[in-house]
Structures are given as C-alpha cells and as structure tokens.
Structure 1
C-alpha cells in the first residue's frame, strides 16, 4: 500500500475491529437466536420464510470468513494470502446476496401472479 490514505484507512479499519469485537459477538448471538426460532417453525412456512432463510444462509457464509483483526500481515506473501481470503469472501457474500434478492423477487412475482385474472385456468 503505497497510498498513505489507503494505509490509514486499512489501519483504522483494523483498529476498529480490534476495539469492538463484542459487537460482532452480539450480532452472532442474535443470528443464532433467529436461526433457533426459524428451526421451530413448521415446514409449511418454508415459502413465506424463504427470504429469511436466504439471509441466514448469507450470514452463515460470512461466518466462514476468518477475520482476525489482530493478525496483521508481516510480509508480502501473507498480505497477498489475506487479500485472497477477502476477495473470496466478497465473492461468496455477493453470491449469497444475489440468492437473497432472487428469492425475494420470485416471491413478489408469485404474489403478483396470485392476483392476476386467470381466464384460462393456468398459472405460472
């Protein structure tokens, strides 16, 4: 990182992550509570809860990312390896986000279809 602004931003981000690890723990605990509640719901609610399931799946993908703010790269190979982890996590998060929106869009299309006149008796 030759750009001083990028280095400052990077260092600041690491400092914030190090200073507030409890916030990530609180977030993880809330997600665990939501997952526990979701598992108690009947299978018949799967269609209505599909967007929530997609969000929980996306959050589970994010949990797999090894973010350890105290571990700062000490060499170019370590920095490159850390960057690859970030890029892979970003790709996975974007894929999970797309899945969330695809499920929400499908649900909204089904809702529109339910309200359309059906002269032929056929549905999508």
Structure 2
C-alpha cells in the first residue's frame, strides 16, 4: 500500500542541459512556515517519507530506456543527469527548493536486466 500510485504517475518534465538528460517533478509539499524549512535535509526527508525516491528511480529508468533506444552512443554515466524535484514553496530558500539526485548506474542496469527477462518468457 505504501507504493500505491507509483505506477500511475507521470513525469512533469524531461529536459536536456549541457548534454545530460533530467526528469523533473514539481512538488507543492509544505515543509514549514518559511524558506528555511526547505533545506537539503528537509527536502530529502520529505522525499523519503512520500517514497518519491521510488518514483524518481522508475522515472529515470524509463528515461534510460528511451535514451538507450533513441540516442546514438548513449551512456548512462555521460548522458543521464538524474531526477530533479522542485519544491515550489521553497523557491525563496537558499536551495531554491531544488533537490537533485542520480540513481547509481548499478541500480538502473539491474532494473534493466530484470525487466528484460520478461521479454524472454
């Protein structure tokens, strides 16, 4: 039940910056009464509490598969930026409400192998 809805979502934005591809998701979570509440630790805690970590891994995995199929010479380490979560209420914070992370290559490749196995069945 904690993962309910994870497969029903959609990426808010996919963009390329300086040769790296990113998945962006906008969040309106309230983390506190002022900009100071939107520091890196608070955003990470909210991300984990709502299981956005699972969500962004799925989004990055989907983008990985798309880029591998369509971008000549695609390499995860060189072309994948990762996931950016934009906490809109934290725009005035020192972090600007931006949380970014790239899942480890090993995780994405393991998912790729796991999902590739269904094609063999």
User: TM-score, normalization: structure 2?
Assistant: 0.27
Higher helix share: 1
Higher strand share: 2
User: TM-score, normalization: structure 1?
Assistant: 0.26
